[in-house]
Chains A and B, each alone.
Chain A
Amino acid sequence: MIHAAAPVRAKRVLPGFTLSLGTTLLYLTAIILIPVLALILKGAEIGPARFWAIVTAPRALAAFQVTITAAVIATAFNAVYGLLMAWVLVRYEFPGKRILDALMDIPFALPTAVAGLSLTALFSANGWIGQFLEPQGISIVYTIWGVALAMAFTSVPFVVRTVQPVLEDLDPAFEQAARTLGASEGAIFARVVFPQILPAWLAGCTIAFARSLGEFGAIVFIAGNLPMKTEIAALLAFIRLEEFDYQGASAIALVLLMFALILLVVSNRLQAWAMRFKGI
């Protein structure tokens, strides 16, 4: 591309183009691009028939099923809980609001292994919460519900922090108009507010879902990791590595990578859509 126009020339007066772009490209190539290519190349070596056999083996299918089911449960929960948190934090004034807001950053900041350790102990039969659930016959730890719980913990901020800014920037005129026309609060939320935050909410849920599919640290503690029952796909890839079955590991990792990239594209599209409702 040739930029001969005056404003662009003015920009090129600034120094450091070669240095900064060179550093950036070098870093991205060495740290991200080449390792990801290594996975794709190793995956290509497997060949389609063998690849298909690996990813459709009963244990692999079960692992994908556990991962996706738990991620759906976690995302459904966060879709409601995250929206509720965003709503409460934006729309109401109450004592402790700033603390509640800050608490939503804990799952971001807390190492996933620490979260997994604590959730496991908390929900086990003699933990603070588990001791009330176990007598009711509700087991969380070492079941798919534990997997979903760990996923929900680590991914809830993505919904809250995606919806919050859009909700803050909504034009109150529409709601006031609806209220003047006699709409109930429920109708105002369903017909006026919700359609405006829908793209951001979907984007947040997509990111939370993607994050849940890739989560590892928190889950290995709480899942019990029983093959065919509570073993997630990322862990199966890890186990294949420890068995020196590099083809098995790369095939499963490639499927997870593909999921991640598709969800990245979807969430980018949704966020671009959401921007239309922000600060116009």
Chain B
Amino acid sequence: MQTLAMDPTRNRLMPRLLIGVAALLTLLIVVAPLVYIFARAFGEGWKVYAANLMHPATVHAIWLTSIVALIVVPINVAFGIAAAWAVARFRFPGRSILVTAIEIPFSISPIIAGICYLLLYGRQGILGPWMQANDLQVMFALPGIVLVTMFVTAPFVAREVLPLMQAQGSEQEQAALTLGASGWQMFARVTLPNIRWALLYGAVLCTARAVGEFGGVSVVSGNIRGQTNTLPLHVELLFNDLNATGAFAAASVLTLLALVALVIKAVLEGRRGA
């Protein structure tokens, strides 16, 4: 920065020291855990790694986690667009309360979310007797995992799309309507193209969070091996089985997904900035 370059003699040492300390701390706290996952996953060679990943329980966990993400992310995208449209385009009483309500899952621990769901749908929960009478199973099954993941990821798309919609204003949309477009035509041809990158960005963040959710899911899934074990829960299970290499192999899949999400994020940020 030019302000700092003004007097080079007195500013040389301090920046280097600060950058050095910052880089060293990041190396120890952030980079080392990241690298260590792959070092341990591949520690016993490629063959063991492949065998660990091909293990039926691991394959099932990957499959279950994918199903959860495939259900949650599209619903969350729809909710995010609806919430952003309502808040950005209309004035109504309780609007600011609505914005705060959308953010609530960010401040509530996922494990509390899981407990909330258990107290609602569990056997001793408020709806428990009614659900048993009608033979409905939410807890310790796929619906419970999906619901808790929806709770935890609720704000992700809305909070990316909302500020953009507010900044863009509604002139283009009103022009489309004036020219005779129907509501859905306006949405498909004007609104959606305008928000597409923010939408994609929100969906990527939502996917990363949905795939990695642990606390909430561990309450409602019941950890039934080969049935309700998502990939993060499977990592814990393998770790508790003292199969560290297997745990790291499963963890490496999640790490890879996280890194892909970050790369997509970097690309999208470049695009949005342009």
A169-189 interface (Cβ within 8 A of B): 172, 175-176, 179, 185
Other A-B pairs beyond A100-B23, A246-B119, 17, CB < 8 Å: A11-B89, A11-B90, A14-B89, A20-B85, A20-B89, A42-B119, A84-B22, A91-B1, A112-B214, A113-B235, A114-B37, A114-B255, A121-B40, A152-B29, A179-B3, A216-B111, A257-B112
A89-130 interface (Cβ within 8 A of B): 91-94, 96, 100, 102-107, 109-115, 117-119, 121-122, 127-129
Hey, which chain A residues are within 8 Å of B232, CB to CB? Answer: 111-114, 217
In the bound assembly, the distance between CA atoms of A28 and B108 in angstroms comes to 14
Asked whether A112 and B215 contact (CB < 8 A) given A38-B119, A38-B125, A118-B251, the answer is yes
In the bound assembly, the distance between CA atoms of A220 and B223 in angstroms comes to 15
Asked whether A111 and B109 contact (CB < 8 A) given A31-B151, A38-B120, A42-B119, the answer is no
One of B48-56, B96-104, B194-202 at the interface: B96-104
Once the chains bind, are A216 and B266 in contact (CB under 8 Å)? Answer: no
Asked whether A260 and B78 contact (CB < 8 A) given A15-B186, A220-B236, A221-B239, the answer is no
Residues of B contacting A: mostly: helix
Report the contact-size class of chain B (Cβ under 8 Å from the partner): 35 or more
Asked if A34 is at the interface of the complex by the 8 Å CB criterion, the answer is yes
In the bound assembly, the distance between CA atoms of A213 and B28 in angstroms comes to 23
Once the chains bind, are B119 and A32 in contact (CB under 8 Å)? Answer: no
B187 CB contact (under 8 Å) in A16, A216, A238: A16
In the bound assembly, the distance between CA atoms of A220 and B34 in angstroms comes to 18
Hey, which chain B residues are within 8 Å of A39, CB to CB? Answer: 112, 115-116, 119
In the bound assembly, the distance between CA atoms of A115 and B104 in angstroms comes to 24
17 A/B residue pairs, CB under 8 Å, sorted by A: A1-B92, A20-B82, A21-B90, A84-B21, A84-B22, A87-B18, A94-B19, A114-B254, A114-B255, A117-B248, A128-B32, A153-B29, A216-B109, A216-B215, A237-B115, A260-B107, A263-B107
Hey, which chain A residues are within 8 Å of B254, CB to CB? Answer: 110-111, 113-114
Once the chains bind, are B235 and A114 in contact (CB under 8 Å)? Answer: yes
Once the chains bind, are A129 and B85 in contact (CB under 8 Å)? Answer: no
Once the chains bind, are A32 and B154 in contact (CB under 8 Å)? Answer: yes
Residues of A contacting B: mostly: helix
- Which of B112, B122, B177 counts the most chain A CB atoms within 10 A? B112
Interface contact tally, CB-CB below 8 A? 278
Once the chains bind, are B3 and A172 in contact (CB under 8 Å)? Answer: yes
B208 CB contact (under 8 Å) in A88, A91, A109: A109
Within the complex, the shortest CB–CB distance from B40 to chain A, in Å, comes to 6
Asked if B124 is at the interface of the complex by the 8 Å CB criterion, the answer is yes
In the bound assembly, the distance between CA atoms of A237 and B236 in angstroms comes to 18
Within the complex, the shortest CB–CB distance from A68 to chain B, in Å, comes to 14
Hey, which chain A residues are within 8 Å of B100, CB to CB? Answer: 268
Asked whether A105 and B248 contact (CB < 8 A) given A217-B214, A260-B108, the answer is no
- Which of B117, B218, B258 counts the most chain A CB atoms within 10 A? B258
One of A54-62, A196-204, A248-256 at the interface: A248-256
Asked if B188 is at the interface of the complex by the 8 Å CB criterion, the answer is no
In the bound assembly, the distance between CA atoms of A114 and B170 in angstroms comes to 43
A107 CB contact (under 8 Å) in B22, B30, B154: B30
- Which of B11, B85, B233 counts the most chain A CB atoms within 10 A? B85
Asked if B126 is at the interface of the complex by the 8 Å CB criterion, the answer is yes
Once the chains bind, are B183 and A16 in contact (CB under 8 Å)? Answer: yes
A11-25 interface (Cβ within 8 A of B): 11-17, 19-21, 23-25
In the bound assembly, the distance between CA atoms of A94 and B82 in angstroms comes to 43
B34 CB contact (under 8 Å) in A8, A33, A118: A118
B251 CB contact (under 8 Å) in A11, A114, A250, A261: A114
Once the chains bind, are A118 and B109 in contact (CB under 8 Å)? Answer: no
Within the complex, the shortest CB–CB distance from B174 to chain A, in Å, comes to 7
In the bound assembly, the distance between CA atoms of A255 and B23 in angstroms comes to 38
B83 CB contact (under 8 Å) in A20, A100, A109, A246: A20
B158-200 interface (Cβ within 8 A of A): 170, 173-174, 177, 183, 186-187
A121 CB contact (under 8 Å) in B36, B85, B102: B36
Hey, which chain B residues are within 8 Å of A51, CB to CB? Answer: none
Q: Which 8 A-B pairs have the closest CB atoms?
A: A111-B212, A214-B109, A15-B183, A217-B214, A35-B116, A216-B215, A38-B120, A118-B33
In the bound assembly, the distance between CA atoms of A67 and B121 in angstroms comes to 28
Hey, which chain A residues are within 8 Å of B40, CB to CB? Answer: 118, 121
Hey, which chain A residues are within 8 Å of B62, CB to CB? Answer: none
In the bound assembly, the distance between CA atoms of A140 and B118 in angstroms comes to 34
In the bound assembly, the distance between CA atoms of A119 and B29 in angstroms comes to 9
Asked if A210 is at the interface of the complex by the 8 Å CB criterion, the answer is yes
Hey, which chain B residues are within 8 Å of A263, CB to CB? Answer: 107
Asked if B247 is at the interface of the complex by the 8 Å CB criterion, the answer is yes
Once the chains bind, are A221 and B236 in contact (CB under 8 Å)? Answer: yes
B214 CB contact (under 8 Å) in A156, A216, A250: A216
